[in-house]
Structure 1
Amino acid sequence: MSTSPSVAVITGASSGIGAVYAERFAARGYDLLLVARREDRLRELASKLEALHGISVQTLPADLADESGIQAVEEALRSNERIEILVNNAGTAHIAPFTAGSAELHQADIMLNITALTRLSLAALARFQAQDSGTIINVASVVSLHARAGSAVYSGTKGYVLNFTRALQEEVAGSNVRVQAMLPAITATEIWDVSGVSMEDLPPAAIMTGENLVDAALVGLDKGEAVTIPALHDLTLWETYEKARLAIFESCLTGVPAPRYQEK
């Protein structure tokens, strides 16, 4: 029987939130498989983490907005039985009016934020369920809960991530497989460099560091939270939201149109 450490796979690992997840899981003794487009940054991070933590790091340069990139990571998830954690962190945002973006730009965003996350979750979860162990962390966003002008595609994709993750949680309930949705708010990462919004235009007090975000998210994971929102201080707001959301769903199971929609 192998005594090799378990492996954590982290997408979008070359910077920002993904790089912090890589460091934190390395500190916990996991070997790593780091996925991102920028091979030079992956190699630099791999060397640093191997030296600091004495773990083994593999790198897999892949563009998850491209079919071949998705397939490469799918194959790694299916073939490496040591993989116990998948962090679906890779994502992008373009903040602008919907009609200002091309169909090709929107499709690329959907491919990365939805298609890649879905297919990598499938590749990992099939094996995690078979072995009754494993963890998937899906990075969504607080815009899963509230969309604003200029974020139609980004908010839409992150809303998908949250609902997709909720459904997976119900499917693995009662097993030793864990699926967490993590919802960052405004976070200091390089996503702003491509988003069309400068961090200089954001309220400084609202910006969380990637380190604080991931550390809080991992506390939530360790506590068994299904949905973790690191920036939310008043938990009763979430509890009220969840109660109302479920009540709305259950109240719709009547088969009868509401009186306000019935002609008099």
Structure 2
Amino acid sequence: MSITQGTVLITGASSGIGAIYADRFAKRGHDLVLVARDAARMETLAERLRSETGVAIEIIPADLTADADVAKIEARLAQGDVGILVNNAGMSLNGSLLENGPENISRIIALNITAPTRLAAAAAKAFVAQGKGAVVNIASVLALAPEMFDGIYSGTKAHLLNLSQAMSAQLSAQGIYTQAVLPGATRTEIWERSGKDVDSFPADMVMDVNELVDAALVGFDRRETVTIPPLADIIQFDAMQAARAAMRPNLSKKAVAERYRVSETL
């Protein structure tokens, strides 16, 4: 069972990861606020979950690439009854940096970076006032593997990982729990929407969305800062974190590193 109470606001809630989160939190007894562009699909989901669980479900149609719609969700978070934010809405692109124009690049940044950052900030302010709350940011394993695929998508997910770790370090003492969830390839509609074929991947690389969310919720209940459902050996991630921490004291110095000094013999 969840140890965080209150209404759960989920973005990208009409399908895929967001819809499964809605199902799982409703079955834990949480009221829901569902946010996505497709109101009809959210209503179908809400009708089923109301019937099965009896929880109250609010639907807010919103395009989170639009400033006015992001502001609408910020205002909803400010009302103070939401206890958990699941920042799930996101998109991918078909093609690389060289194959996408300004409109597509601006859109993915708006949806994958600007919107979740603004909503995390709005939620955190409301939660700090209450002394409790949780923010779940759906990132990606590609945040750890920028060399794979296009750097735009992985860069947006690296931002969410960075944001989550910073929030955890800075806000946990004020009662705010922050979790970054890093899925690998997961069978959702994001592939079709971005013109990719998920079946082109080896079958053992693609996780079922139900298994992904259930694993993420195990991490949530354990209060993990970073949850990586496909990673069997957490020692690998811990080693990377330890190496990063060891490097941190050496990242800002008055003196230039010796390896960058111009040789006097030149």
User: TM-score, normalized by length of structure 2?
Assistant: 0.94
**Map of 1:179 onto structure 2:** 178
SS at structure 2 position matched to 1:138: strand
Q: Is the 8 A contact 2:96 2:152 kept in 1?
A: no
* Matched AA of 1:262: R
Q: Is the 8 A contact 1:43 1:59 kept in 2?
A: yes
In 1: Cα distance, 2:160 partner to 2:24 partner: 23
**Map of 1:52 onto structure 2:** 52
Residue 126 of structure 1 pairs with residue 125 of structure 2? yes
In 1: Cα distance, 2:250 partner to 2:93 partner: 36
Q: Please report the RMSD computed on the Cα atoms of aligned residues, expressed in angstroms.
A: 1.2
Residue 144 of structure 1 pairs with residue 143 of structure 2? yes
Q: Is the 8 A contact 1:62 1:69 kept in 2?
A: yes
Aligned length, in residue pairs = 259
**What's the CA shift string for 1:54-105, capped at 9, x where partnerless?**
11111001000111211111111112x2210000000000141212101011
User: TM-score, normalized by length of structure 1?
Assistant: 0.95
Where do 4+ consecutive residues of structure 1 move more than 4 Å? none
Q: Is the 8 A contact 1:95 1:151 kept in 2?
A: no
In 2: Cα distance, 1:123 partner to 1:174 partner: 18
Q: Is the 8 A contact 1:180 1:228 kept in 2?
A: yes
* Unaligned runs of at least 5 residues, structure 2: none
In 2: Cα distance, 1:175 partner to 1:135 partner: 11
Residue 40 of structure 1 pairs with residue 40 of structure 2? yes
In 1: Cα distance, 2:8 partner to 2:165 partner: 22
Residue 61 of structure 1 pairs with residue 57 of structure 2? no
| 1:176 shift after superposition | 1.9
* Matched AA of 1:155: S
* Unaligned runs of at least 5 residues, structure 1: none
**Map of 2:13 onto structure 1:** 13
Q: Is the 8 A contact 2:27 2:53 kept in 1?
A: yes
- Of residues 90-99 and 111-120 in structure 1, the stretch that sits farther from structure 2 once superposed is 90-99
Q: Is the 8 A contact 1:29 1:53 kept in 2?
A: yes
**Map of 1:25 onto structure 2:** 25
* Matched AA of 2:214: D
**Map of 1:110 onto structure 2:** 109
**What's the CA shift string for 1:17-54, capped at 9, x where partnerless?**
00010001001100000000001100000000000111
In 2: Cα distance, 1:93 partner to 1:249 partner: 32
